[in-house]
Amino acid sequence: MYPQGRHPTPLQSGQPFKFSILEICDRIKEEFQFLQAQYHSLKLECEKLASEKTEMQRHYVMYYEMSYGLNIEMHKQAEIVKRLSGICAQIIPFLTQEERAPSRSASPSPPESLVEEERPSGPGGGGKQRADEKELSGPYESDEDKSDYNLVVDEDQPSEPPSPATTPCGKVPICVPARRDLVDSPASLASSLGSPLPRAKELILNDLPPSTPASKSCDSSPPQDASTPGPSSASHLCQLAAKPAPSTDSIALRSPLTLSSPFTTSFSLGSHSTLNGDLSVPSSYVSLHLSPQVSSSVVYGRSPMMAFESHPHLRASSVSSSLPSIPGGKPAYSFHVSADGQMQPVPFPSDALVGAGIPRHARQLHTLAHGEVVCAVTISGSTQHVYTGGKGCVKVWDVGQPGAKTPVAQLDCLNRDNYIRSCKLLPDGRSLIVGGEASTLSIWDLAAPTPRIKAELTSSAPACYALAVSPDAKVCFSCCSDGNIVVWDLQNQTMVRQFQGHTDGASCIDVSDYGTRLWTGGLDNTVRCWDLREGRQLQQHDFSSQIFSLGHCPNQDWLAVGMESSNVEILHVRKPEKYQLHLHESCVLSLKFASCGRWFVSTGKDNLLNAWRTPYGASIFQSKESSSVLSCDISRNNKYIVTGSGDKKATVYEVVY
Tens of pLDDT, residue by residue over 555-568, are: 999 999 999 999 99
Which of 63-67, 590-594, 619-623 shows the lowest mean pLDDT across its residues?
A: 63-67
Q: Give the amino acid at 156.
A: D
The pLDDT assigned to 379 comes to 96
Q: Is the pLDDT of residue 100 over 90?
A: no
CA–CA distances in Å: residue 238 to residues 173, 543, 633: 10, 32, 35
Q: Give the amino acid at 135.
A: E
Mean of the per-residue pLDDT values of the chain: 73
For residue 550, the surrounding DSSP H or E stretch is strand 547-552
Better pLDDT: 213 or 340: 340
- 582 within 8 A of 317, measured Cβ to Cβ: yes
Average pLDDT over residues 49-67: 90
Q: Give the amino acid at 168.
A: P
The pLDDT assigned to 334 comes to 94
- 176 within 8 A of 84, measured Cβ to Cβ: yes
Return d(Cα 568, Cα 268) in angstroms, integer: 26
The 8-class DSSP code of residue 230 comes to -
Using alpha carbons, select from 502, 424, 466, 438 the residue that is nearest to residue 589: 466
The pLDDT assigned to 461 comes to 92
- What 381-384 contacts at long range (C-beta under 8 Å, 24+ apart), as own/partner pairs, is 381/425, 381/427, 381/429, 381/635, 381/636, 382/429, 383/635, 383/636, 383/637, 383/639, 383/640
Return d(Cα 556, Cα 573) in angstroms, integer: 9
Which of 153-167, 280-294, 490-504 shows the lowest mean pLDDT across its residues?
A: 280-294
Q: How does residue 122 score in pLDDT terms, banded at 50, 70 and 90?
A: very low
Using alpha carbons, select from 450, 534, 547, 469 the residue that is nearest to residue 499: 534
The pLDDT assigned to 235 comes to 36
Using alpha carbons, select from 414, 417, 452, 449 the residue that is nearest to residue 434: 414
Q: How does residue 166 score in pLDDT terms, banded at 50, 70 and 90?
A: very low
Average pLDDT over residues 222-238: 41
Using alpha carbons, select from 208, 206, 211 the residue that is nearest to residue 295: 206
The pLDDT assigned to 405 comes to 82
- 240 within 8 A of 330, measured Cβ to Cβ: no
Strand 440-445 vs strand 452-458: parallel, antiparallel, or unpaired?
A: antiparallel
Average pLDDT over residues 150-167: 39
Cis peptide before 282 (omega within 30 of 0): yes
The pLDDT assigned to 206 comes to 52
Q: How many CB atoms lie within 10 A of CB 363?
A: 15
Q: Is the pLDDT of residue 175 over 80?
A: no
The pLDDT assigned to 236 comes to 37
Q: How does residue 458 score in pLDDT terms, banded at 50, 70 and 90?
A: very high
Q: Is the pLDDT of residue 227 over 50?
A: no
Q: How many CB atoms lie within 10 A of CB 90?
A: 17
Q: Give the amino acid at 324.
A: P
The pLDDT assigned to 18 comes to 53
Q: How does residue 208 score in pLDDT terms, banded at 50, 70 and 90?
A: low
The 8-class DSSP code of residue 386 comes to E
Q: Is the pLDDT of residue 513 over 90?
A: no
Q: Is the pLDDT of residue 2 over 60?
A: no
In terms of average pLDDT, the best of 282-296, 322-336, 460-474 is 460-474
Q: Is the pLDDT of residue 212 over 90?
A: no
pLDDT digits (tens, 9 = 90+) for 366-411: 999 999 999 999 999 999 999 999 999 999 999 988 777 899 999 9
Q: How many CB atoms lie within 10 A of CB 254?
A: 18
Residue 563: phi, psi to the nearest 5? -125, 165
| Exposure on the CB side of residue 83, measured as CA atoms within 13 A | 23
The pLDDT assigned to 102 comes to 56
The pLDDT assigned to 243 comes to 37
The pLDDT assigned to 488 comes to 95
Q: How does residue 64 score in pLDDT terms, banded at 50, 70 and 90?
A: confident
Q: How does residue 280 score in pLDDT terms, banded at 50, 70 and 90?
A: very low
Angle ∠(426,432,435) on CA atoms, nearest 5: 115
Domain borders along the chain are 39-141
